[in-house]
Amino acid sequence: METKRVEIATLVRADHTTSNIIKELNVSKATVCRVRKRLADGDDLKNKPRSGRPVKIRPNQVKTAFEAMPTMKMSELAKKKSVDPSTVSKAVKAAGGRSLRKVERPLLTQRHRDLRLDRCRRILSDLKHNGDRVVFFSDEKTFTVDPVYNKQNDRVICFGNVSNVIRSVSKTKHPASVMMDKMPPIWFPTGYRLTGADYLELLKTKVLP
């Protein structure tokens, strides 16, 4: 805008009329009148100091910071910039960003994925051809050593699509497991591999009764 005022002032000093300046520079009449008044009062054409508190952080700065490190917490950036976390949150929204929770995903190789897909297809086929069968569903609790994270507070800041690699938290399985329900727990030794035959026997003798 300061450049535009300089152009208007040049034409004013060259004795151009207000209507000619409006047509030539495509500006409003009020803008031309303000420039004329500044020249008449002997004021310069620079931008005047703005009222209110100066902006400490802008949306584009926040976007650049989180694109470089999507897993950084808003409170961390707020501390670095010496602003309130709510200021960072508003800047993220203004830049079109979102705060997403991290998602747990099993740490599976391609072989494990193919094996699970094959088993699921077999189960669906078996259920389809044996509709009168009584199916017993059970579950087991597995104690593991995995990365600790807070589902609510550990988030990913993204602008547009987000990579699954960044958003995922890998979970591994090294079971020393216990089966839980309305019954005493059944403990297995560390590293014990439960076979299908043993599992069926366990259901018949320990779970179903």
CB count within 10 Å of CB 156 equals: 19
Selected residue with higher pLDDT from 43 and 33: 33
Cα dist from 151 to 100, 141, 148, 173, whole Å:
10, 20, 10, 19
Q: Are 107 and 145 in contact (CB under 8 A)?
A: no
- Confidence class for position 91, pLDDT limits 50, 70, 90: very high
Asked if residue 184 has pLDDT above 90, the reply is no
What pLDDT sits at residue 141? 57
Dihedral in degrees, nearest 10, Cα atoms 81, 87, 88, 93: -150
Residue 198, token pair as written in the block:
């043993």
Q: Is this structure's pTM higher than 0.95?
A: no
- Confidence class for position 180, pLDDT limits 50, 70, 90: low
Residue 150, token pair as written in the block:
């807070």
The single residue listed with the structure tokens 């300089």 is 6
